[in-house]
A = this chain, B = another copy of it.
Amino acid sequence: MDMQKRIERALETALKHTTAGGQPPKIAAALRYAVFPGGARVRPRLCLAVAMACGDDNPQAADAAATAIEFLHCASLVHDDMPCFDNADTRRGKPSVHAAYSEPLALLAGDALIIAAFETIARECVATPHLIAPLTGTVARAVGMPHGLVAGQAWESEDDVPLAEYHRAKTASLFTGAAMAGAIAAGADPQIWRAMGDRLGAAYQVADDLRDFAASATELGKPVGQDSLNARPNAVAAGGLDETVARLHDMVSQTVAAVPDCPGAPVLRDLIAGEAKRLMPKSLASHAA
């Protein structure tokens, strides 16, 4: 099955469990709205690509891990867009969840997605119960305290921000978690995938800074200039545009080089190269080709 179809099917199956009947209808609609249609699904694709590169021994566990990763990503977007955070009224070219459904429902939808992420791992690993603890731990570390996504967002409330730790926690941690969870699901050693996840995550953060700085709102589907508006560190503001574009190209090469040798390596390298192209704002495509 095509990887994208496999991800959408897994997300659909997991979402159906949260709306199995008798639930309040608005939050059910808000949950669907938060998950479908998705963005590029780059994190679950990374998770599945690593699982496949490792032999995909337990596809149901890999699907569960990919779903958990994407649910947690969607939850972070929903909460991040709320007025007390980025106050972003649009996301992926349409009203963000709180704008479409209200703040209370956005808060609850994010909570429900976090819960559903862990529930999905426990439910779908019925044939591989030994994978539940390592998958749960890996995914929880990627998003929780002290060094996951939530910690990254919490650094924005501090006066003294260690930049590398901030970026690693806010963006790279979920990429690293996705790669390692994919390996775990396939019964492989997750540690050899850590470096690639870290580097891809770091590249993604720089790309995101570039997009926030240089892309148009239409291209991005969400408000631009948010970093400057929210006084958040931004690589372009710190290092200049040309230098940042060159740095991103370097980081992508490093990521490709960090893919361990394995039968699925070519697919992964293609995924990374494709991502790198997709992430570069169109207005910068001619820079440092």
Contacts and interface: CB of A to CB of B under 8 A. Distances in A.
B28 A146 contact: yes
Contact of A144 (B26, B85, B119, B133): B119
A148 B116 CA distance: 11
Contact of A116 (B31, B133, B145): B145
A136 B122 contact: yes
Interface stretch (A102-110, A181-189, A212-220, A268-276): A102-110
Interface stretch (A89-97, A124-132, A199-207, A244-252): A124-132
Interface string A149-179: 0110111111000000100000000000000
A286 interface: no
- Count of this chain's copies in the oligomeric assembly: 2
Interface stretch (A2-10, A13-21, A37-45, A257-265): A13-21
User: DSSP class of A's interface residues: helix, strand, loop or mixed?
Assistant: helix
Contact of A132 (B84, B136, B151): B136
Contact of A136 (B25, B28, B102, B136): B136
B153 A104 contact: yes
A111 interface: yes
A158 B24 CA distance: 7
